[in-house]
Chains A and B, each alone.
Chain A
Amino acid sequence: MTNGTILPLRLHEVCFGVGSRAIIERISLEIEPGPSTIILGANGAGKSVLMRLMHGLLSPASGRVEWSGSERPGAPRKQAMVFQRPVMLRRSARANVEYALKIAGVPGAKRAPLVREALEGVGLSHLASRPARVLSGGEQQRLALARAWALHPEVLFLDEPTASLDPSATREVEAVIRAFDAAGTKIVMATHNLGQARRLGDEIVFLDRGRLVERTPVEQFFSQPQTAQAAAFIKGELPWTG
């Protein structure tokens, strides 16, 4: 029963492209347990692709993506992902969370308490019976968080989770993320929002045009960026690429 931790996640010289266009160029990176990691960069820098490479939705063209330990086949996945736009099934909020548990192989009797706990954790217990698709954007995103978190993953990937939400919904979602972080889940979040990075992150991994350019603790990144690109980005002067 090798049920040990799956972290650190190691990326080694990972490349990914579409056609002749390189999107991720030779990124080597280690994601360790503990501090919440923000993947920061302008639109088109390759954040979403990097997230998907780490989560496993994409395979690198070259290089390796390696988790530590090993997942028992059939055991609940230890890493989950929340996307920018949540995709909910045509069923109740509660049923959507339960679906994730069912797919993960959690036996029927054990699901209900886990679902309840997850919905409470994101403050959606009162909407449990509502059809998921009629919930507001912020509520659906919190539901996606509940669904991702119901299995208590070690790592939670979030790809620009509040980019489509208004400020109050953004605040609600950020509160949930902070709570998960406090509960011990490793957070890896992509964003281009400087304020959010500062609010939620412990360390910044900065991407520029598919390359990993800088990696620093959050406060240092904002007060003393080490690269010209980072400095320019912070000043809001980073030019659009491609």
Chain B
Amino acid sequence: MSEAFGTAVQLLAGLDPKLIEIVLLSLRVSITAVVLAALLGFPAGAAIAVGRFPGRRTLIVLLNAFMGLPPVVVGLVIYLLLSRAGPLGSFGILFTPSAMVIAQTVLILPIIAALSRQAIEDAWGEYQEQLRSLGASRLASALTLLWDTRFSLLTTVLAGFGRAAAEVGAVIIVGGNIDGVTRVMTTTIALETSKGDLPLALGLGIILIAIVVAVNAAAYLTKELVQRRYG
């Protein structure tokens, strides 16, 4: 274990260009996925929270359930879609970072939608009467609530990012773990583990965790700052 820490420190200190490439790709893929999932998931969550339509409760149950989608299953399904033999094969996206982004977006979209739905529905309970009294339409209310629950939504985004950055099952299938092209932190850790280089794998794992912690810390501090200014 101590060897792993030593390896981790060495890798970081040495600023190994391969490592930096892998870290940057991991961040690029997962952050892009989170942004896309938020763009799709927040409006969906708000619409479900504020709307009234048949099948709403079934949809909520499914959304909550899909938070636990197994990454390998998502990877497999996206692979079959993007494969040359599949319906979207002609785009040639398989085994590129774009495919990884798509897979991770699909993976975390339910998390973003379900958690934002809950946060907004809670706020809707508090705000509904007042907003209706002011004459706000459902659409206007949904948008207002999205902004007002922004701190809870930030946590939702971080949850999504954490899930994306940590998963390996989806990206390894749709990305192919190609050296220099689609190799990210988690797939590298899987590779080094299977090669038997456990200290290196563990060292990379420590770096991955440190990065996720750093992202969360930055988000928390930003939130504190903004909250102090706007309440």
Do residues B132 and A57 form an inter-chain contact, with CB atoms below 8 A? yes
B230 at the interface (CB under 8 A from A): yes
A171 neighbours in B (Cβ, 8 Å): none
Query: Which of B129, B133, B135, B231 is within 8 Å of A132, CB to CB?
Result: B231
A87 at the interface (CB under 8 A from B): yes
A89 neighbours in B (Cβ, 8 Å): 127, 144, 148
Q: Per-residue 0/1 for A55-74: is the Cβ within 8 Å of any B Cβ (1 yes, 0 no)? A: 10100000000000000000
B134 at the interface (CB under 8 A from A): yes
B73 at the interface (CB under 8 A from A): no
B130 neighbours in A (Cβ, 8 Å): 83, 86-87
Main secondary structure of the interface of B (DSSP, over half): helix
B126 at the interface (CB under 8 A from A): yes
Do residues B134 and A100 form an inter-chain contact, with CB atoms below 8 A? yes
A80 at the interface (CB under 8 A from B): yes
In Å, the complex CA distance between A86 and B129 comes to 10
B140 at the interface (CB under 8 A from A): yes
Do residues A103 and B230 form an inter-chain contact, with CB atoms below 8 A? no
Main secondary structure of the interface of A (DSSP, over half): mixed
Do residues A90 and B135 form an inter-chain contact, with CB atoms below 8 A? no
B150 neighbours in A (Cβ, 8 Å): 90
Do residues A103 and B135 form an inter-chain contact, with CB atoms below 8 A? yes
B136 neighbours in A (Cβ, 8 Å): 103
Q: Which residues of A contact B (CB under 8 A)?
A: 55, 57, 77, 80-81, 83, 86-87, 89-92, 99-100, 103-104, 130-134, 147
Do residues A134 and B133 form an inter-chain contact, with CB atoms below 8 A? no
A92 neighbours in B (Cβ, 8 Å): 230-231
Give the A-B pair count, Cβ closer than 8 A: 47
- Of all chain B residues, the one with the shortest Cβ separation from A95 is B230
Q: How far is the CB of A57 from chain B (nearest CB, A)?
A: 6
Centre residue among A57, A83, A103, A130 by max chain B CB count within 10 A: A103
In Å, the complex CA distance between A69 and B144 comes to 31
Query: Which of B129, B140, B231 is within 8 Å of A90, CB to CB?
Result: B231
> Can you list 28 contacts pairing A with B, beta carbon distance less than 8 Å?
A55-B133, A57-B129, A57-B133, A77-B134, A80-B134, A81-B133, A83-B130, A87-B126, A87-B129, A87-B130, A89-B127, A89-B144, A89-B148, A90-B230, A91-B148, A91-B231, A92-B230, A99-B134, A99-B144, A103-B134, A103-B135, A104-B134, A104-B135, A130-B231, A131-B229, A131-B230, A131-B231, A132-B231
- Of all chain B residues, the one with the shortest Cβ separation from A101 is B134
9 closest residue pairs by CB, A with B:
A131-B231, A87-B130, A81-B133, A133-B231, A90-B148, A103-B136, A77-B135, A103-B134, A134-B231
- Of all chain A residues, the one with the shortest Cβ separation from B144 is A89
A83 neighbours in B (Cβ, 8 Å): 129-130, 133
In Å, the complex CA distance between A136 and B4 comes to 54
In Å, the complex CA distance between A87 and B123 comes to 11
Q: How far is the CB of A104 from chain B (nearest CB, A)?
A: 6
A99 neighbours in B (Cβ, 8 Å): 134, 144
In Å, the complex CA distance between A147 and B126 comes to 18
